[in-house]
Structure 1
Amino acid sequence: MTEFSSNESKFLKNNEAARIATSQKDIPHVKPVSFVFYNNNIWIATDYETHTFKNIKSNPNTSITIDIYKSGHHKAVCAQGRAKIIENGSEFKEIYNIFYEKFDWVKRDPWKENEAPFLKFVLKNKTSWGLD
């Protein structure tokens, strides 16, 4: 099983913006998202009406990039895997509480189970650089 290294985990825990790539009918879609890194997984909040959610429903294969660009000192984690949709239950509640504590936008516009899902990124492979 592929896991994130300790340097990658530290980097992921200290960042909150990523770009997720999905695809439907061979048409790619990339968008910026907020995320949390918890239990060696990347978690993303989404809404039911987004292209991202609709794409994941038909094709769960996805890629995620978390990076900081500073000329000559670029840091990044790029990963490929599958997204699992979490809409309710204890896992949903646990991740919702983490998002609620971390992001003001969640406090301003809260939601409940089955009102908006989370995407749990299940890692297949990854690469990183600049994290020494």
Structure 2
Amino acid sequence: MTSKDGKVKLSDSEIQYLDKAEICRFATASKDGQPHVVPVSHLYDEGYIFVAVDYGTKKLKNLRENSKAAIIVDSYSPMRAVMIQGSVKLLEKGEEYREIYKLFHSRFAWVRRDPWKEGEAPFVKMTPTHKVSWGFRKQ
């Protein structure tokens, strides 16, 4: 199901599953389509997926060339997964950046141990445009 703003709607069970997982696999592709998949921390907030990235990384280079990305959170006991594809924009500074940083800081111990300042590392804001999930009951 898609909302009026074009975002794919997730079920409450899917949102809870994303919120419980600290790590997802984050997939990007270069302008010529070469895939790149890495584990990252993520947040789901207000219908968007947020991922912290570093400057100088392959994933950031890919996102500057190709604004499409995907994440998957999965487990095998019980067998369950949520895969989300979408378009991204980079947050490097500003009020939204600071709000997302606060959420990352409160949720992840690694951010509290190794904090950074605005402008030192961007966030990826992914607008979900497609999802596939399994292992959840219909709501």
Does the TM-score normalized on the shorter chain lie above 0.5? yes
In structure 2, distance between residues paired with 1:104 and 1:6: 25
Of 54, 64, 67, which residue of structure 2 is paired with 1:57? Answer: 64
Alignment match, 2:95: 90
RMSD of aligned Cα (Å): 1.0
Distance 2:26 2:88 in 1: 10
Q: Any conservation in 1 of the 2:47–2:127 contact (CA below 8 Å)?
A: no
SS in 2 for 1:91: helix
Mapped partners of 1:5, 1:75: distance in 2: 14
1:17 aligns with: 23
User: Corresponding residue for 1:111?
Assistant: 116
SS in 1 for 2:136: coil
**Structure-2-length-normalised TM-score:** 0.89
Normalising by structure 1, what TM-score? 0.93
1:6 alignment partner in structure 2: 12
Structure 1 residue 131: Cα displacement: 2.1
Unaligned runs of 5+ in 2: 1-5
CA distance in structure 1 between the partners assigned to 2:109 and 2:118 by the alignment: 19
User: Identity across aligned pairs (percent)?
Assistant: 42
CA distance, structure 1, for counterparts of residue 112 and residue 85 of structure 2:
30
| Runs of 4 or more consecutive aligned structure 1 residues displaced over 4 Å after TM superposition | none
Q: How many Å apart are 1:6 and its aligned residue?
A: 1.5
